[in-house]
Amino acid sequence: MPADISGTTVVAEFEGESGRRERQFRFQPGPIFGQVVLADEINRATPKTQSALLEAMQERSVTVGGVSHRLPEPFMVLATQNPIEQEGTYPLPEAQLDRFFFKVLSLAPGRAELAEIIERTTGGYEADIQPAIGAAALLEHQRLIRRVTVAPMIRDFAVRLVLATHPGPFATPLTTKFVRLGASPRAAQSLILAGKCRALLDGRPAVSTDDLRAVALPALRHRLILNFEAHAEGVSPDSIVSNLVETLPTEAV
C-alpha cells in the first residue's frame, strides 16, 4: 500500500509536563526516506503505490495527511522489473518511466559470471562492504558535472536526436513507421547530463557527440512508445534508437 512506502501518521503516547500520559499524532517515515532506495520488481506495486513513488521521484517529497515532508539529499531510486513474468504485475505509467534517468538491461550471466555467483552464494564468501563516498561529496560531484561545457553544436545534436524519435522532419523511416510517441524533454536532459558525466570520467572538460551516442540507448529506450505494428514485427526501442544514432548527422543540415 502507499503508506507502506511513504509512511503514515500514528498515535504516539508520551508523558506530558503534568506527569499524565498524553497522546499525539506523529508522522512515521516509510522506507522512501532513504538516500538510495531500491524498488525490487516495481511492476508488482499497485497503481496507487506507484503514484506515491512518482511524487517522491519528481518532487523529492511525500504528502501524508495533507502535510508535505521533504526527502533527504542526495536521493535516488533504483528499480528492477522481471520482463518474463507478467502474472500479478502492473505496467508502469509512461509518466513514471520518464522519471527514470536510465534503463539498463541486465543480461543473463555467462559461464564465468554464473560460476562467480555460485562461488559467492554457496561457499564461505563474506562481502567486505566499505563506504565509497559520503553524501556531501556526492552532492559536490553532482554540482561539478553541471559545470562541464556543452557546445551549442553538441546541444543541438541532443535536441535533434530527441526530436528524431517523433514522427516529423528529423524522423527516420523506422521512426515514422513504428513509433507512436517519442521521447520527452527529460530525455534531452538525461542525454546532456549523462554525456557530461562520461566526459568528466574520461578526463575531458567538454561533451562530444560520441558521449551522447554512447548514452543514447539507456537514456531513450524506456521513453519510446511503439505502435501495434512494431510489436507485431518484433521491432524493439533499441533498434529504433540504434538506427537514429547511426544515421543522424553530426552537424545540422
Q: Please indicate, yes or no, if residue 171 is contained in any of the structural domains.
A: yes
User: What is the C-alpha separation between 81 and 106, in angstroms, rounded?
Assistant: 10
CB 61 within 8 A of CB 70: yes
Q: Please indicate, yes or no, if residue 241 is contained in any of the structural domains.
A: yes
- CATH code of the domain covering residue 195: 1.10.8.80
State residue 14's pLDDT score.
66
Domains: count for the chain: 1
State residue 239's pLDDT score.
92
Q: What is the pLDDT along the chain (253 residues), one digit of tens a residue?
A: 777 777 777 777 766 666 677 777 777 777 888 888 888 888 887 777 777 777 788 788 887 777 787 888 888 888 888 777 677 777 777 888 888 899 988 888 899 999 989 988 888 778 888 888 888 999 999 999 999 999 999 999 999 999 999 988 888 888 888 988 889 999 999 999 999 999 999 999 999 999 999 999 999 999 988 889 888 888 899 999 999 999 888 877 6
| pTM score of the predicted model | 0.82
Q: Please indicate, yes or no, if residue 147 is contained in any of the structural domains.
A: yes
Phi and psi torsions of 11, nearest 5°: -95, 120
Q: Please indicate, yes or no, if residue 116 is contained in any of the structural domains.
A: no
Q: Please indicate, yes or no, if residue 27 is contained in any of the structural domains.
A: no
Q: Please indicate, yes or no, if residue 139 is contained in any of the structural domains.
A: yes
State residue 17's pLDDT score.
67
Q: Please indicate, yes or no, if residue 199 is contained in any of the structural domains.
A: yes
Domain that residue 222 falls in:
133-253
Phi and psi torsions of 70, nearest 5°: -75, 145
Q: Please indicate, yes or no, if residue 57 is contained in any of the structural domains.
A: no
State residue 162's pLDDT score.
93
